[in-house]
């Protein structure tokens, strides 16, 4: 391992730990079905470390029988969330027990251990799952999103234990599975906590924010498939009008719908209810995948647009952005009415998954403490919001836990080629989080 001039011995250990998580290749199996790849190896590494620290450690499996009351809410959509087995993929929860738990404040450190795939591995500067350390940087899939955050939290707890400054309140830790597709692991842990009478006062989600700013909210996302129907025919001839039985290219009609979505996004970009002062990036409906056609010389019979629709905390109704959904469906109806073919063959709308959101008040006592510790460490302390999503909503809704987000790395590199995290940020993170935990739980 390089960069020994930068790292003290303990700092080297946290870097090695993050590298071991990257090398375990904890890809969410939804993206690599049939390859025998999952978060299981990373969870074993994490569990072993937590047990080494002498913490109370719990395995919290995803059991859909116990989650039946949450059907079609964020985290559990039958036929989608349960499409891939959770066997051998438990959440890992641990507790550093306080000396006076009943009379002191508690805190939850949490984040996900799964990462997205790296199908473009040949284009990376460093192989995505080798965990290369070079020039003060950890390279690899999950380095920012969010294995460095998880590793930093664990070593913050180790720093607390080694300091001998035992907190009065409980410090909880949770390594969550399946955040990258559906958030089912988070739902299972929040439900388990509720059934177990566990309700941390506040939480730190370790998604990458950099170590100079603190996020107080994230957006919700809804995944929806829009299926555009056409009529197949020979591609190498100009078809008759569809009223005379001629072919209709579903891909061309999908382009029409995409152009209409561009206009919707332009409208949303100007609306105050679609933005937040801590995010300053309006909610949008973004096409992420296109699937259409069945033969190189045929007009497409159908084309499916997969769309990621963003929304804000104030737009949620029991974790679902009902008003946003209704607006989007009404928008599609009007777009179809304006097209002669789609007027009689309207698109089909299939809602797939929802991921909820959360927000902590800016004047919360924990926010003030957190900002103070960041400023003491590096002079930062700006408040922000995360443009994407992190799994905090269920902790607030089921456990009353107010959730912040603070983690090493840069969200701009998440899900991207050549993902990385600065070692300096990781070391600062361990120090800041350990200080925040001790101060809040004292």
Q: Hey, what CATH topology would domain 9-218+357-440 get?
A: Aminopeptidase (3.40.630)
Q: What is the pLDDT of residue 3?
A: 37
Find, among 277, 439, 423, 421, the residue nearest to 374 by Cα: 439
Q: What is the pLDDT of residue 46?
A: 98
The two tokens of residue 372 are 């103070």
Q: What is the pLDDT of residue 10?
A: 64
Strand 171-176 with 107-112, pairing:
parallel
Tell me the pLDDT of the chain (442 aa) as tens digits: 333 333 455 689 999 999 999 999 999 999 998 888 999 999 999 999 999 999 999 999 999 999 999 999 999 999 999 999 999 999 999 999 999 999 999 999 999 999 999 999 999 999 999 999 999 999 999 999 999 999 999 999 999 999 998 899 999 999 999 999 889 999 999 999 999 999 999 999 999 999 999 999 999 999 999 999 999 999 999 999 999 999 999 999 999 999 999 999 999 999 999 999 999 899 999 999 999 999 999 999 999 999 999 999 999 998 899 999 999 999 999 999 999 999 999 999 999 999 999 999 999 999 999 999 999 999 999 999 998 889 999 999 999 999 999 999 999 999 999 999 999 999 999 999 999 999 999 9
* Spatial separation of the C-alpha atoms in residues 436 and 25, rounded to whole Å: 31
* Spatial separation of the C-alpha atoms in residues 30 and 353, rounded to whole Å: 13
The two tokens of residue 405 are 């987000």
Cβ within 8 Å of residue 377, ≥6 positions away:
211, 428, 431, 432, 435
Q: What is the pLDDT of residue 398?
A: 96
Q: What is the pLDDT of residue 102?
A: 93
Q: What is the pLDDT of residue 319?
A: 86
- By CB atoms closer than 10 A (0-12, 13-18, 19+), residue 211 is buried
Q: Are 98 and 104 in contact (CB under 8 A)?
A: yes
DSSP letter string, 54-122: T-EEEEE---GGGGGGGTTBTTB-TTTTTSS--TT--EEEEEE--TTGGGS--EEEEEE--B---TTGG
Q: What is the dihedral of CA 151, 157, 161, 162, to 10 degrees?
A: 40
Query: pLDDT (tens digit, 9 = 90+) per residue, 277-314?
Result: 999 899 999 999 999 999 999 999 999 999 999 999 99
Q: What is the pLDDT of residue 318?
A: 85
Q: What is the pLDDT of residue 8?
A: 55
Q: What is the pLDDT of residue 438?
A: 96
φ and ψ of 419, to 5 deg: -60, 145
Q: Please state which CATH number belongs to domain 220-355.
A: 3.30.70.360
The two tokens of residue 399 are 């456990």
Distances (CA, A) of 36 to 30, 84, 85, 156, 207: 11, 11, 11, 32, 26
CATH 3.30.70.360 domain locations along the chain? 220-355
Could you tell me the pTM of the whole model?
Answer: 0.92
DSSP letter string, 328-366: HHHHHHHHHHTSHHHHHSPPEEEEEEEE---B--TT-HH
Residue 171: strand pairing partners: 96, 107
Q: What is the pLDDT of residue 2?
A: 35
The two tokens of residue 153 are 């939290």
Q: What is the pLDDT of residue 5?
A: 38
* Spatial separation of the C-alpha atoms in residues 245 and 249, rounded to whole Å: 13
CB < 8 Å & 24+ apart, contacts of 245-253: 247/299, 248/299, 248/341, 248/345, 249/299, 249/300, 250/292, 250/293, 250/299, 250/300, 250/301, 250/302, 250/303, 251/292, 251/293, 251/299, 251/300, 251/303, 253/228, 253/303, 253/339, 253/341, 253/342
CATH 3.40.630.10 domain locations along the chain? 9-218+357-440
User: Residues 356, 360, 366, CA angle at the centre, nearest 5°?
Assistant: 140
Find, among 154, 203, 138, 179, the residue nearest to 27 by Cα: 179
CB < 8 Å & 24+ apart, contacts of 266-273: 273/312, 273/314, 273/315
Q: What is the pLDDT of residue 285?
A: 98
Cis previous bond, 138, omega within 30: no
Residue 205: strand pairing partners: 110, 405
H helices present in 164-237, as ranges: 184-196
Find, among 360, 357, 359, 400, the residue nearest to 199 by Cα: 400
DSSP letter string, 5-34: TT--HHHHHHHHHHHHHHHT--B-GGGSTT
């Amino acid at each position: 391992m390089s960069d020994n001039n930068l790292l003290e011995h303990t700092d080297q250990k946290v870097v090695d730990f993050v590298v071991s998580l990257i090398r375990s290749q904890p890809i969410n199996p939804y993206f690599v079905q049939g390859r025998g790849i999952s978060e299981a190896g990373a969870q074993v590494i994490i569990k072993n470390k937590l047990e080494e620290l002498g913490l109370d450690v719990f395995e919290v499996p995803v059991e859909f029988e116990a989650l039946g009351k949450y059907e079609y809410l964020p985290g559990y959509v039958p036929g989608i969330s349960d499409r891939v087995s959770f066997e051998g993929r438990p959440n890992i929860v641990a507790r550093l027990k306080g000396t006076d738990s009943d009379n002191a404040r508690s805190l939850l450190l949490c984040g996900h251990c799964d990462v997205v795939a790296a199908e473009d591995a040949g284009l990376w500067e460093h192989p995505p799952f080798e965990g290369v350390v070079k020039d003060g940087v950890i390279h690899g899939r999950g380095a920012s999103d969010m294995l460095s955050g998880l590793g930093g939290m664990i070593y913050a707890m180790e720093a607390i234990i080694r300091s001998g400054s035992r907190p009065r309140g409980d410090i909880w830790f949770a390594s969550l599975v399946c955040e990258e597709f559906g958030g089912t692991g988070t739902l299972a842990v929040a439900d388990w906590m509720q059934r177990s009478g566990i309700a941390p006062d506040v939480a730190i989600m370790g998604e990458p924010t950099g170590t100079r700013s603190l996020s107080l909210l994230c957006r919700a996302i809804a995944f929806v498939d829009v299926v555009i129907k056409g009529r197949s025919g020979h591609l190498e001839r100009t078809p008759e009008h569809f009223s005379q039985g001629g072919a209709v290219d579903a891909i061309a009609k999908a382009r029409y719908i995409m152009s209409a979505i561009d206009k919707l996004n332009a409208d949303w970009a100007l609306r105050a209810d679609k933005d937040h002062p801590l995010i300053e990036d309006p909610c949008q409906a973004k096409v992420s995948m296109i699937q259409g056609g069945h033969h190189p010389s045929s007009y497409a019979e159908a084309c499916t647009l997969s769309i990621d629709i963003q929304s804000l905390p104030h737009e949620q109704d029991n974790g679902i952005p009902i008003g946003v959904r209704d607006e989007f469906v009404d928008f599609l109806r009007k777009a179809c009415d304006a097209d002669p073919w789609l007027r009689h063959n309207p698109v089909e709308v299939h809602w797939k998954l929802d991921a909820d959101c959360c927000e902590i008040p800016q004047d919360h006592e924990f926010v003030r403490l957190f900002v103070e510790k960041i400023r003491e460490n590096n002079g930062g302390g700006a408040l922000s919001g995360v443009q994407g999503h992190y799994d905090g909503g269920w902790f607030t809704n089921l456990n009353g836990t107010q959730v912040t987000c603070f983690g090493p790395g840069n969200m701009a590199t998440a899900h991207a080629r050549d993902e990385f995290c600065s070692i300096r940020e990781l070391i600062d993170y361990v120090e800041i989080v350990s200080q925040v935990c001790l101060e809040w739980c004292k």
